[in-house]
């Protein structure tokens, strides 16, 4: 089953130029698939996709982000605190945050941890934590 007639925006922020270039290559391939003949299993929809090179701690975040995925498996304490601060500033009530391995929001009532699931990544299994903003 797939969802039809949706219209989302998805953005990624990466600090390293070579990895940003790989993401741009993936986007080009995705756009080629999307512009090709309709696929019998997938509807690629009209999701707008963008990749930004920059430091997530200081870059301007895309407007109206309401689901934030943080590939935080290797992030240190200071980076996690800055990201947490940006999320507090930007995420609307009802918005969700997904992290990998590292956890957020130990000392606030504004976010609730709603799930923790083990996911298979290319390097092995990693716990993914899912939070929902309940207050602002
Ligand atoms: C676990 S990898 C995720 C790789 C890939 N973006 C993905 O989602 O599969 C974490 C990535 O975060 C990037 N990164 C680390 N610190 C960052 C920062 N301050 N701002 C933006 N990206 C950062 C690293 O270069 C690395 O590519």
Q: To which H or E segment does residue 122 belong?
A: none
111 CB neighbour count, 10 Å cutoff: 21
Sequence-separated (6 or more) residues with CB below 8 Å from residue 117? 127, 128, 130
Query: Ligand 1: distance of its center to the CA of 71 in Å?
Result: 6
Ligand 1 atom at shortest distance from the alpha carbon of 12: 6
112 touches 134 (CB < 8 A): yes
For 4-55, the pLDDT digits (tens) are 445 678 889 999 999 999 999 999 998 888 888 777 777 777 778 889 999 9
pTM above 0.85, yes or no: no
Query: Ligand 1: distance of its center to the CA of 108 in Å?
Result: 25
Query: Ligand 1: distance of its center to the CA of 10 in Å?
Result: 16
76 CB neighbour count, 10 Å cutoff: 9
Which residue has 């989302």 as its token pair?
8
CATH number of 66-136, picked from 1.10.3720.10, 3.40.50.150, 3.30.70.920, 3.40.50.720: 3.40.50.150
**Tokens standing for residue 13:** 């922020």
Ligand 1 atom at shortest distance from the alpha carbon of 19: 27
Ligand 1 atom at shortest distance from the alpha carbon of 56: 20
pLDDT at 7: 64
Domain residue extents for the chain: 1-58, 66-136
pLDDT at 3: 44
Q: How far apart, in Å, are the Cα atoms of 14 and each of 43, 52, 81?
A: 27, 6, 18
Query: Ligand 1: distance of its center to the CA of 7 in Å?
Result: 26
Give the residue, 78 or 42, on which the prediction is more confident: 78
For 64-77, the pLDDT digits (tens) are 788 999 999 999 99
């Amino acid at each position: 089953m797939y969802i039809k007639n949706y219209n989302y925006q998805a953005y990624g922020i990466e600090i390293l130029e070579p990895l940003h270039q790989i993401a741009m290559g993936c986007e080009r391939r995705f756009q080629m698939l999307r512009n090709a003949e309709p696929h019998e299993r997938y509807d690629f929809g009209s999701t707008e996709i963008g990749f930004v090179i920059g430091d997530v701690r200081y870059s301007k975040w895309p407007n109206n982000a309401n689901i934030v995925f943080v590939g935080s498996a290797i992030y240190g304490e200071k980076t996690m605190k800055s990201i947490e601060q940006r999320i507090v500033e930007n995420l609307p009530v009802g918005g969700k945050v997904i992290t990998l391995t590292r956890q957020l929001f130990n000392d606030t009532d504004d976010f609730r941890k709603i799930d923790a699931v083990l996911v298979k990544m290319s390097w092995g299994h990693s716990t993914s934590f899912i939070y929902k903003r309940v207050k602002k």
